[in-house]
Amino acid sequence: MSRSVFAIIMIAIVVVILLGMWLGWRARARRHAGITESGPALSGGVLVHFPRASYVSTTPEGQPLERLSIPSLRYKGFAELTVRTDGVTIAVTGEDPVHLPADRVLGSGIASRRVGKAVERDGLSLLRWRAADGSEVESSFRLTDPSEQIALERALDQISSPADASAEATQTHITSHTTQEDA
């Protein structure tokens, strides 16, 4: 086989792979097109503001390696993250801002890996929220300082839905504790 035939075959393989990736991303975007998060701008008092947080991804709750292709939250990049008394605004650079009303904010969390990023233990901050279609999702952010993670967690927990917080509290009280004598 000559070099030119080999080069043409390799180029064809690369083109097929790239075409498959592009078609797969378009199909994912179509599947998640119903989860549009454009709403009215929030005007409540600012609890915490991060002008340059690193936005990682948005995933279904409990599935950290399954990226959602939600408009304005598709791609990772720097974001302006603002938690207000009436909700959360995520403005990824180059995208339209996403405004999440406080009644859809479910709380906060921490993680060490998400699709697109793996960091030290508990290095990512999670914003848990309910999407427009009713599914629960998690948006992850990499903040520069652990004190910023704590500030974000407190602000999100302050505005999160009280119904969900009481359900978690009830579940916590139901859990039995095993002692050495029980084992």
Of all residues in the chain, what percent carry a pLDDT higher than 70?
Answer: 84
Domain 46-170 part of CATH 3.40.190.10? no
**pTM of the predicted model as reported, rounded to 2 decimal places:** 0.72
Cα 33 to Cα 37, 82, 117: the distances in Å are 10, 24, 24
Whether the per-residue pLDDT at 70 is higher than 90: the answer is no
pLDDT value at residue 49: 92
Tens digit of each residue's pLDDT (9 = 90 or more) over 42-65: 888 889 999 999 999 888 888 888
Can you tell me the mean pLDDT for 26-50?
Answer: 78
Can you tell me the mean pLDDT for 172-182?
Answer: 34
Q: Are 166 and 178 in contact (CB under 8 A)?
A: no
Per DSSP, the residues of 9-36 read HHHHHHHHHHHHHHHHHHHHHHHTTT--
pLDDT value at residue 144: 86
Residue extents of the structural domains in the chain: 1-31, 46-170
Q: Are 38 and 150 in contact (CB under 8 A)?
A: no
Can you tell me the mean pLDDT for 93-122?
Answer: 85
Matching residue, tokens 């009303």: 101
- The lowest-confidence range among 1-5, 51-55, 65-69, 98-102 is 65-69
Q: Are 101 and 170 in contact (CB under 8 A)?
A: no
The two three-digit tokens of residue 50, written as one number: 């991060």
Of all residues in the chain, what percent carry a pLDDT higher than 90?
Answer: 23
pLDDT value at residue 14: 95
